[in-house]
Every structure is written in C-alpha cells, then in structure tokens.
Chains A and B, each alone.
Chain A
C-alpha cells in the first residue's frame, strides 16, 4: 500500500506577534513547527504501516527551510520525503498550491491513501485537502476522527456539526484528519540519524520536476490575491465603572437600562 502524507511547516501561532508600527508579522524568533493536525495525519499513516505494511511518502511545499518538516517526518517513520521548493511556487493561494501538490502526487505515482491535517494553523482554510482530491479526481473524507482500512476500501468516522457519520470509500482516497484521531509518536534517534544522513530518502523538486508551468503555480498561478493586511481595530468607547461590588452592580444595571436593556426580564 502506498500512502502520501501532506504536511506543512507553520509558525507556532501562539508566538505570533504584530509589529505595532508596521502591522507586519514579527517572524524573528518564532518557532517553526509541523502543523499540529498534520502530525496526526502522519501518525495515521504510520499506524496503517504498522498493521498492514505501507510505503509512506511525506510531501510538503515551502521555502528551503521547510526541509525540516520533511526530515522530521522521515525521522518519525516516513519512508521517503519530498519538498517542493522553487521561487515559482512562492505566493501561492490554495488553488495554486493544490495544483503543485497534485502534480507532485501524480509524479510520485501509485498511491492508495492521501492523508492531511484538517487545516493549517497559519491559514485555517481547510481547502487544500479537498482541492487536491478534486485535482486528482478521487473521493475526499474530511473531519475524520476514526478510520479503519479494509480490503480495497476504507471506512471513516466524520465529525458533523450535530453528530457524526460513518462513510465507506474505495481507494484511492484522500482524508483530512482531526487531532482526536490518534496520539502522534515522536521521532526516533535512529530515524533522526537516518533523516540527517547523506543518503536520506529526501528529495527537493522544482517546478520543472513536476511539469508545472510558471503561470500555473505560485503567485502567478493564484486565482486570489491579498490586497491588504491589517491588525484588527477595536473601536468602542469604554466606560469604567468603579466602587464597591454592590455599587458597580447598580451602576451597570442602570447603564444597560439606559440603552434599553433590562436584565432579568
């Protein structure tokens, strides 16, 4: 069985701060991590490999330093890692990203399952999984919290807003998974040595390697453009209420009454 795991390197957004003068992200000193839900996707692949045997390829697109997440995936147990890196890929929206990932998966060749995290914590779009599935013309199962691999097919439990459903899909299939699916394992020392060795099964592919044209990928291939970024503004006239708890309570009830809101009715 062949499994492709899509991973993304993201800034740990708990650390993200905005420069108050420029409004830009301060990236210095911000730790880069594997997108948390992608670790669960990798774990799902490793679990299948443990039980049934599988060849796992970890795939990412990003700047040269994104090789770190590929090394981590290989150190954790992936058999092969591929980084798509090229200036031509920069500035991609989800349309252009799914084009590049889809072309790369076609070049990888045979696959039965593609796994990815539900969404990345920097963009929160949750679009890449379904867009790659559509690019490849295969079914998608999103919001997966449980899965079982059977002969030639997979069953998965998907979380709905008001419940859950169990779905059966044939191979090949793409799944986007939730953290509730499993508990990710850590890289092993042997794995880290393997991923750092010269013969590590890690490759870097550029646009020509996947047969992409410059106009299909990156900024040029994107269908959406960011026209402005800004820090959310807060504009309310704050009124401070002071005094003993009883007095503050009375003031607040009075203030809200003046706005036509009567508490307790």
Chain B
C-alpha cells in the first residue's frame, strides 16, 4: 500500500484531501479515507498532514542494469528477397557506433529465402547475420514481423537497434517498441555515442526541421531508433570481410496476424533514383513553367544528372512527387547538388545539406540557400543554366 492513514492520529482536518489533485483522499465520518483506485501515486499529499496521520511511500524510477545488453543491430528491410538500399546505410552507421563502443554489428534479415544475402551484408560491415526464413515472412505483415523481431531481440539482447524510417520501418518500429517496452526515436538524421555515458545520442529534426533535438533512451534496451534513409553513408563493400551467419528457427504458430493482404500493386514506373545520383539538378519556384523545366532538363542531361525539385514544384504539378527533395520528400547526398532558384527553406535544406558540394543559383542575394552553398551565384537561372549547358557541350 502506498498511502496509509493512522485513524487514531487523524482528526479529519481535510488538509490531505485538499492537497490531492485527484479526489483520492476524502473525509468520511471525520476521518481521512484513501481511495486507491483514484490515486495516481503522485505524492502530492505526503507533506500535507500536520499530525503524522498520513504516511506513504511513492514508487521511484530506477535505471535497470543493462550490462548484458550489447552490440549494435540493424533490422534489414527486404522486398522480394532484394535488400532495400537503406540496409547498407544503416550498417555503415552501425559500424561507426559499434567501433566506438568496442562491440559488434549484427543484422537481422527475414524473408522466404534471404540467406543468400548474408554475405553481402557482411561485406558491407556486419559481423553477424541472423537469418529467419519462413514462407510467411516473404511479404511484410505488421504483427508477424513484430513477433519475429521481438523474439530475436528478446533472445539476443542488443544494446542498440536501428530500423530504416521507411513506410515499412515506421509501421514496424513503434509496434515493436510498444510490445517490448522500448524507448523509440523517430527519423534520426544523426547518431553517435556519448563518450562518457556510452549511450546512444539520437538526433532528429522536429517542427519541420526548424529545430534539432538530441534524444536518449536511459530506461530501456535496446536503444531503438528509426533512421531517415539517404542520410547515413554506406561503407564500400570489402570482399575480404568475414562474419558469422546464424539461421534461427522460430515457431511461427505463436504469432497472431489479424490482417489479410488482398492485393499488392507495385509500380513499375521508372523512378527518379535520386538516392543513387552523383549529380542532382534541382529547381524551385522559378522553374514552374514549361520553359523552366526544359532549361533544368537540358542542363541535367548535359551533366548526366537527375532532376529534382522543391515541394512547390510538385504541388504546382510540374514534376511528380518522386523528384521532391526535402523534409517531406527524399533526402539525398550527391557529389554535387545544383540548387536553381531554390530559396533554401529549412524543410528543403534538411533533405540536401549532406551533399558533398552545393552550388546555389538565385536572383536574391539574401536567399538562405547561400548559407549552405559551396559556390554561390547571384543571378538568373534562365541565363546561368543555358550558359553552363553551352560550356559543357562545347568543351
């Protein structure tokens, strides 16, 4: 019992009742009475009794001992046996974290037939690859995957778990976190290890990228984060790397799946592959015209670049959404990013400021985009881009 009342000392003065925000202490027959079901154990009443009639002990929160939780884990996303590109980025990130901790990188990959991918994951930086194969894992299902990943981490006790912040990852991670009692940080763009506490510092944008917040999980393990695709760097594959491959058998009958997939339609359209592009030519509001898109495309073609844009260009219907870079679009990190007529709203910069070189072309000398540019050109993109196109074609 958390609160007890000594009826011999209680004179029914009501001080405790007035101190309680929840009506959990009432005076009945001139004696205080504690209503357990109304009590939130907040402790507000503890100092209220001047007669020593009310005593209690409130639970406190302690950080459990996590010393047997170790290694940095990556949940590997696959579709039809093909690995999602985020897997290598997350392994690259996990490698750095594991090296800082002096621990290993482990990956978990599920599917109907995925063991063949294990070597590739090891070449990209994993030390250990946990494989679960079952026909029921061929296609992502929320509760099935939550069950399998939950059982795996229950057995292995990872210190850190990274999941890509894709549609799939953002469906799976919160479900898993709630089931396993894990703190979860969404959509991280930077991860590092605190040098003193040795805990994971999880940094993410909030308020549309206006603010960055660094978040820690002190009360649960593994420290779990979803990681925005396109931000972390994959390692160059190293064919000489070796690692351990473990095939786990799980009882799938224990898992309850509620839903039925009636149909799945994958679009075969040629997608703008911005994530893999070495050079990106992106346009903002001024390219919202047929002529604007043409100028952008001509230059992009001349330099072998992919075309991208800001949100407004998509909203105005000049380019499809898969070309959009920024907080609500894709994150990219090409060798060179040409920002043409882009003012540099924080939401856009959040998706491209990892680019190696940024060239900004804008008529407005005060445009915020110049703040992240390596090369700043104050001028009209309708003059500068054709001049660049001509110079490149001429040389």
Contacts and interface: CB of A to CB of B under 8 A. Distances in A.
Contacts of A166: 261-264
B83 interface: no
A138 B258 contact: yes
B216 A241 contact: no
Contacts of A236: 358, 371-374
A263 B262 contact: no
Interface string B375-395: 111110001101110111101
B186 A223 contact: no
B258 A169 contact: yes
A129 to B, nearest CB: 8
B205 A232 contact: yes
A142 B170 contact: yes
Nearest to A165: B264
B357 to A, nearest CB: 6
A165 B171 contact: no
B384 A249 contact: yes
Interface in A216-259: 220, 222-232, 234, 236-242, 245-246, 248-250, 252-253, 255-256, 259
A141 B142 CA distance: 9
Nearest to B146: A134
Interface residues of B, number: 99
Nearest to A217: B40
Interface stretch (B9-17, B20-28, B102-110, B247-255): B20-28
Contacts of B349: 232, 234
A239 B370 CA distance: 10
B357 A261 contact: yes
Interface in B177-204: 177-179, 181-187, 201-202
Interface in B201-228: 201-202, 205-220
Interface string A121-132: 111111111110
A153 to B, nearest CB: 9
B392 A264 contact: yes
Nearest to A263: B303
A142 B171 contact: yes
Contact of B166 (A95, A127, A161): A161
B218 to A, nearest CB: 7
A93 interface: yes
B387 A249 contact: yes
B235 to A, nearest CB: 21
B217 to A, nearest CB: 5
A93 B174 CA distance: 12
A245 B298 CA distance: 16
B264 A213 contact: no
Given A134-B178, A238-B376, A264-B395, A163 B266 contact: yes
Interface of A: 11, 13-14, 16-18, 23, 25, 86-88, 93-95, 98, 121-131, 133-135, 138-143, 155, 159-170, 173, 206-208, 211-215, 220, 222-232, 234, 236-242, 245-246, 248-250, 252-253, 255-256, 259, 261, 263-265
Given A18-B210, A252-B375, 19 more contacts: A13-B208, A25-B210, A95-B178, A124-B186, A127-B186, A134-B146, A135-B178, A138-B258, A173-B258, A206-B22, A223-B183, A223-B217, A226-B213, A245-B379, A248-B379, A248-B387, A249-B384, A263-B336, A264-B304
Interface of B: 21-24, 37-43, 58-59, 61, 79, 142-143, 146, 166-168, 170-171, 173-175, 177-179, 181-187, 201-202, 205-220, 258-267, 271, 279, 302-304, 327, 335-336, 346, 349-350, 353, 357-359, 370-379, 383-384, 386-388, 390-393, 395
